[in-house]
A and B are shown apart, each in its own frame.
Chain A
Amino acid sequence: MTSKSLFFKLMKEDFKTRVWTLAISILIFFFSLIVATAMMISFNLYEGSAYSSYSYREDLALNFISYIDVTNPFFGIIFIVLSLVMAMSGFAYLYSKKKVDLYHSLPVKREVLYFIKIINGILIVVIPFIICEIVASLLVLANTGEIMVITSALWAIAEWTLLFILSYFLTVFSIMLTGNMLIGILACGFFSFYFPLISLVLKGYQSTFFDTYYTSGFIIENVLPNMSSFMLMFNIFELKWLTRIIIVILASIAFLFINLFLYKKRASEAAGKSVGFNVIKLPIKAMMVIFMSILMYLLGYEVMNHSIGWGLFGLIVSGVITHCVMEIIYNQDFKKIFAKKIELLVLIIISIFITAAFQFDIFGYDSYIPSASQIKSTAVISDLLESNSEQYYNKVEISDAYYDESFVDVDYASDSKIEADQIKKMDIQNKDAVLELARQGIEAAKYDLEPQGDFDRVLISYKLKNGRTVGRVYYLDLDQSTLGLSSVYADESYKKSNYPILSQNPENIVSVDFNGIMDNDTHIVFHDDEMKKKFVETYKKELMNLDYETKLKSYPFASIRFNDNFMEGALRKYAGFNYTSDSTSATYSKWENIYASSLESVGFYPIYPEFKETLSLLKEMDVEVIYKFPAEYVESIDVSYNDWENIDLDNNIEEVESYSSETTPKTFTDKKDIEDILDKLVICDSPYKENLNEDRNYAAIINAGNSESSAYRGYNSYGFKKGNIPDIIKK
């Protein structure tokens, strides 16, 4: 008998013993794919006949694609259940002495047995899945004529198969390590959730105990959370498609061979015991005891108002209980509850050391500062420097619609994405200025000052020569850090990484949008390339030359956006599209009003009064620039005063009588007073907003005439630059 024919004969025999799993697999996929698709088709046909204008075909195709897609958690649950069923039906014999005696006495290599069971386990699930998926997609194809349903189905088959295989292999891994079914299922849970949970706990420790915490590093942020087939199955951490697939394939290959190794090494007498290999008992117990101990310390500490005593109570009690439970499981004997006391003591001490390392910052996380010679370059990100970065990360998208027309939408970038990208791009070489900012931050962190007034978050990231990137977050006082911030702002790399326009070729610009005081909005399409080049280069020069001192004393009274072809097309589509259901849409389908929309959150740059050349060119292009808020439109100005220094913020008890916007604002109606106030007021009302160096004690609200008839409606609150308070208000 050749080994090949033996393999297939044994596969057939193994299949016979697992035929019930095939029945389950067929039933699940028949109902979840074929029946569900038939219901979907029936539903869409009804909708199509009910509304004559309704194009049900596209909708059906999209619904089907969305249903079978790898993002649908329903199929994730199905595949997790099936991976458990297949792993247990194939390898649970390792839990039975009788069965092990039979299998291991046969003249069949263990590798052959292993691969027979592995392959059958995959085929029993994947073949019915493929057949049902293809039948379902053919049903949709027949009803829609959309060939994309077939390609989508093929992709879904490939992706789900890979995810199932990983989940299946991990379950087999759990079986290999354990000796009975209950412990095997517990082990599945352990391997599915342990590493993501320990990553969460460590992040919790860092953010709780480190004042300058920024991120937890690659291992805690990226590796540990994804060391779980469960997390990968549901893509909890939103990995990119290719990254996820590569991880799944590599992990599956690794587990295929790890499992084979364990299968060959596993002693037959492990059947019925709690654990398959004695050598893993201590590491698994240590992982559980330490995890539970440090978790309960953190909970005790946080819940009981930062009490170290309660934290320790939680640590010790949970550590002891976890150890007892593990010993009972290992020995399968309740009387062994207090076995291995020395191991328990050592694990508790290790847990206490770990918590102490975080609580008392034993390894100096907060005081970390690299030497200048270790640093390759740095990055500094703070609202004190630039608070409008999202303008350059929010992306306009033109999406295909379910109905006849496409629509324009904005994909808002998250702060973390913006920071990560800026850190990547920024290469500030003025290390001394950055290190000085870091030193100031460390000093501020020592005194644990609450951020208030002119304090703000400053993220400093060091790209070290050894390839690591280390980040710390500080809270800096604007007054004390002006010099450092000014140096950073003057850095070319800082400017270029913050303002994409500085790296843009004028040839790609098609139009600009000017947005000034009182909805003074103009859309200018360039027809003269020379003028366009001149304008763009002029703006770039003035933005590059903008210094921090100017930012502190002046303010951007207007904004400008440079549109490329795509943006211009999007604006036209947006302006002509009458759709008012959500915040991403124009209020009216008029070109003039598109600025009142979410598109204001994309791509606007500042125009300071100091940008004289730019303003002059705008004037050349017939743009009417309003520098000050016209007093004739203003009926009155309400000014509120907050006496912050005399307000007990902690207890929210105002110790002195003060007038605030909520209580009694002072109203100025005299034209001269209004002009005086308007002259000093920071009217930063365009999409690009800058409130740097404002006096937080005063807030002014402009009442601009009758809301029905006035050209300007609005009750925006404005402030004054520090040291620029009109005398009339001081009085």
Chain B
Amino acid sequence: MIEAKNLSKSFDNIKALDNINAIIRDGDVFGLIGTNGAGKSTFLKTLAGILKPDSGEILIDDENVFENIMAKEKFFYISDDQFFFSNTTPKEIIKFYTSVYRDFDVKKCQDILKALDLDINRKINTFSKGMKKQLCIAIGVAANTRYLLCDETFDGLDPVMRQAVKSLFAKEMDERGLTPIIASHNLRELEDICDHVGLLHKGGILLSKDVSDMKLNIHKVQCVFEKDFDMERLKELDIMQVKNSGRVHTITIKGSEEDIREKMESFAPVFYEMMGLSLEEIFISETEVYGYDIKKLIF
């Protein structure tokens, strides 16, 4: 488990992290979202022991990360712009990481690269941005560490590749309990992969919740009522948003699915259907509770 306790970090007069508290459970996919400059990279770099916090601490299994080799062996950090030694090939880079990470699985790395159709003997400086990202992911996964810290790793990947990486992560999570921690400014990238999401804003975590919890308590219903239906009765529901298109109403409602279904049955609609919510929609509703306009925070 990774735990951030009262974590603060400033660069000169700019506060990048402001008293952050967060818990990242093993086996979850932790999504870290926020605008550019929200502090995502700083948080990940502090988590990776690259930056020393001004105050507070980051613990991995109760061990402080900074300058702690035992703790650092438990994760692999993929930066948003990973450095590769000049004129090297994936093969040479694999050798380098093999000397650093004791459980590095060369075969796994080669297999992933083969699956991703990356030539291990080609110079990395001839790779595109997306290919470099794929190489990083392959190395990161093959390092066989418990945690994989990904800073904007999906940025630059095409949708097919994104799905492939997600599958790869899912397989690793399933097989050896990998915990990916993914920072992104794009909520849609994390849509169907994250179990837990933390929203960073101005150096602080605005909210940190399980996606499933959020999804259990918020629902979207599409319905058509009788012409003489008294719309005032809808106030019996904890309505967050109503959109009307002719006689078709799309209503976002807080509450358990059972309660909502029971109420809807009591309204005797002509038609109603429970619909799934996107992460974005969930966030809109959740952040509104804190008085924030999500569109200003993420998009």
B and A form one assembly? yes
Instruction: Let me know if B30 is at the binding interface, CB within 8 A.
Output: no
Of A6, A96, A99, A107, most buried by chain B (CB within 10 Å of CB) is A107
A13 at the interface (CB under 8 A from B): yes
Among the 9-residue stretches B45-53, B159-167, B209-217, B232-240, the one with 4 or more Cβ atoms under 8 Å from chain A is B45-53
Q: Which residue of chain B is the closest to A111 with respect to CB atoms?
A: B67
CA distance A102 to B76 in the complex (A): 10
A17 to B83: give the CA distance in the assembly, Å. 13
Complex Cα distance, B91 from A16, in Å, reads 13
Flag whether B81 is at the interface (Cβ < 8 A). yes
Q: Find the B residue at minimum CB distance from A110.
A: B67
Contact B79 A98 (CB under 8 A): yes
Flag if B83 contacts A108 (CB, 8 Å): no
CB < 8 Å neighbour of B50 from A9, A17, A104, A109:
A104
A100 at the interface (CB under 8 A from B): yes
CB nearest neighbor in A for B81: A98
A269-B51 Cα distance, complex, nearest whole Å: 7
Least Cβ distance of B14 to chain A in Å?
A: 11
Cβ–Cβ contact A9 & B83, under 8 A? no
Is the pair B45, A268 in contact by a Cβ cutoff of 8 Å? Answer: yes
Contact between chains at A9 and B77 (CB < 8 Å):
no
Interchain CB contact under 8 A, A101 and B69: no
Beta-carbon contact of B73 and A107 below 8 Å: yes
Q: Which residues of A contact B52 (CB under 8 A)?
A: 267-268
Query: Most chain-A CB neighbours within 10 Å: which of B48, B52, B79, B99?
Result: B99
- The answer to whether B95 has its CB under 8 Å from any CB of chain A is yes
* Segment 4-60 of A: residues with Cβ below 8 Å from B: 6, 9-10, 12-13, 16-17
CB of B127 within 8 A of chain A?
no
A101/B11 in contact, CB under 8 A: no
Give bound CA distance, A110 to B83, whole Å. 18
- In chain B, residues 61-79, which have Cβ atoms closer than 8 Å to a Cβ of chain A? 67, 69, 72-73, 77, 79
Q: How far is the CA of A16 from the CA of B50 in the complex (A)?
A: 24
Contacts of B242 on A, CB cut-off 8 Å?
A: none
User: In the bound complex, do residue A268 and residue B50 qualify as a contact, i.e. CB atoms below 8 Å apart?
Assistant: yes
Give the residues in chain A near B51, CB-CB below 8 Å.
267-269
Is B101 interfacial (CB-CB < 8 Å)? yes
Cβ A102 vs Cβ B79 within 8 A: yes
**B244 interface residue (CB < 8 Å to A):** no
Contact call B72/A105, Cβ cutoff below 8 A: yes
In the complex, the answer to whether B92 meets A16 with C-beta atoms within 8 Å is yes
Q: Are A100 and B50 in contact (CB under 8 A)?
A: yes
A342 at the interface (CB under 8 A from B): no
Q: Please determine whether A105 and B100 come into contact, CB atoms closer than 8 angstroms.
A: no
When distances are taken between beta carbons in the complex, the residues of chain A under 8 Å from B82 are 98, 101-102
**Closest B residue to A7 using CB positions:** B99
B100 and A10 within 8 A (CB) = yes
B83/A101 in contact, CB under 8 A: yes
Tell me the minimal C-beta distance from A281 to chain B in angstroms. Answer: 12
CB closest chain-A residue, reference B52: A267
CB atoms of B100 and A106 under 8 A apart: yes
In the complex, chain A residues 250-298 whose Cβ is within 8 Å of any chain B Cβ: 264, 267-269
A236 beta carbon closer than 8 Å to chain B: no
A280 to chain B, nearest CB (A): 16
Q: Which residues of A contact B102 (CB under 8 A)?
A: 1
Judge whether B85 is part of the interface by a CB distance below 8 angstroms: yes
Contacts of A16 in B (CB 8 A): 85, 92
Q: Does B271 contact A (CB under 8 A)?
A: no
Complex interface residues of chain A between 663 and 686 (CB less than 8 A to chain B): none
Assess whether B229 is interfacial by the CB under 8 Å rule: no
Counting chain B CB atoms within 10 Å of each CB, the highest count among A12, A105, A268 belongs to A105
Whether B96 sits at the interface, judged by CB under 8 Å, is: yes
Of residues 88 through 104 on chain A, the ones whose CB sits less than 8 Å from some CB of chain B are 96, 98-102, 104
Which of A9, A13, A108 neighbours the largest number of chain B CB atoms within 10 Å of its CB?
Answer: A13
Contact of A101 among B45, B73, B100 (CB under 8 A): B45
Contact of B48 among A105, A109, A267 (CB under 8 A): A105
B89-114 contacts to A (CB < 8 Å): 92, 95-96, 99-102
Given contacts A268-B45, A268-B51, contact A13 B99 (CB under 8 A): yes
Contact present for A17 and B81 (CB under 8 Å): no
| Cross-chain contact A101 with B50 (CB below 8 angstroms) | yes
Chain A proximity of B100: nearest CB distance (Å): 5
Chain A residues closer than 8 Å to B100, beta-carbon distance: 6, 10, 106-108
Identity of the chain B residue whose Cβ is nearest the Cβ of A278 in the assembled complex: B12
Q: In the complex, what residues of A have CB within 8 A of residue B45's CB?
A: 101, 105, 268
Residues of A within 8 A of B85 (CB): 16-17
Residues of A within 8 A of B92 (CB): 16
State the CA gap A101–B77 with chains docked (Å).
Answer: 9
CB distance from A266 to the nearest CB of B (A): 10
In the complex, the 10 A-B pairs of residues with the closest C-beta atoms, listed nearest first = A9-B99, A107-B72, A105-B77, A98-B83, A107-B73, A105-B48, A104-B50, A102-B83, A1-B102, A101-B79
A-B contact pairs, 18 of them (CB 8 A): A6-B100, A10-B100, A13-B96, A16-B92, A17-B85, A98-B79, A98-B82, A98-B83, A99-B83, A101-B45, A101-B48, A101-B83, A104-B49, A104-B50, A105-B72, A106-B72, A107-B69, A264-B67
Residues of B within 8 A of A (CB): 11, 45, 48-52, 67, 69, 72-73, 77, 79, 81-83, 85-86, 92, 95-96, 99-102
A interface residues, Cβ below 8 angstroms from B: 1, 6, 9-10, 12-13, 16-17, 96, 98-102, 104-110, 264, 267-269
Q: Given contacts A101-B83, A105-B45, A109-B69, could you give 15 more A-B pairs where the C-beta distance is less than 8 Å?
A: A6-B100, A13-B95, A13-B96, A13-B99, A16-B85, A98-B82, A102-B82, A104-B49, A104-B50, A105-B48, A105-B49, A105-B50, A107-B73, A110-B67, A269-B11
